[in-house]
Amino acid sequence: LLLTAALHLAAVINSSFLHYTIPSVTVSIRRSFLSLYSTFSATTAPVPKCRLSRLCPPQHFALHIRSGAANVVGPNICFDGKIIMSHVLNNVGPGLNIVLVDGESGVVEKSHYLDMNAGKDILAYLKEIKPGMIVLVASFDDVTKKMTDEMREIFVGMGSALIRSVRHRDSWVFAGRAGARSKSLFEKQAAHDEKTNIYEGWPEMVEVAGCFPRNQTDRLTD
């Protein structure tokens, strides 16, 4: 009789153990899995490129262009998540800092700064830019020393609405497309004015950022 009672008690205890411990183990495993999933998701979630506040939609490239500050700190040009030109990279210089990008693939083909003391070389360089190329420009120092009307009109043909008004020591940034019919949304200018300059003899630096659309051939012209 005592043996039977002991066996019955053991069965009850064992049943209770299974009833109460297995669900807690299951909950523990589930919580661990969710925690691991959340950590994995957080580390693999897409991050906006070029320090934008949002992700760019499909068929768009992230960009961020900042002009130089006076004649001291060089400009910065970021495209599709990569810094192409900057003071830190030591590949910027006084004049027009330009990045040329294939408008379909997003591949950077050229990056160079054009010293505005070499007028003829600059004009030849600008004339060689093919329709469809995405053109990113940031000023550093003075960009008007040998800026001709012909050079300005080339930028107008890329969508610039401000280049005709850029004057001595102005800050200017621009992103456009060679052969574009429409005006670019990515352009800013800060005029050199002794009354409003924030640096000694120089205006503030300017910047543009956003999502630039991939080429659409129906908007281009030769």
Does residue 36 surpass a pLDDT of 60?
no
Percent of the chain with pLDDT over 70: 77
The whole-angstrom separation of Cα 183 and Cα 80 is 22
- pLDDT of the residue at 5: 44
Tell me the pLDDT band of 116, cut-offs 50, 70 and 90.
confident
pTM for the model: 0.78
Does residue 102 surpass a pLDDT of 80?
yes
- pLDDT of the residue at 200: 85
Q: In degrees, to the nearest 5, what angle opens at C-alpha 143 toward C-alphas 197 and 85? A: 95
The whole-angstrom separation of Cα 158 and Cα 214 is 15
The whole-angstrom separation of Cα 145 and Cα 117 is 6
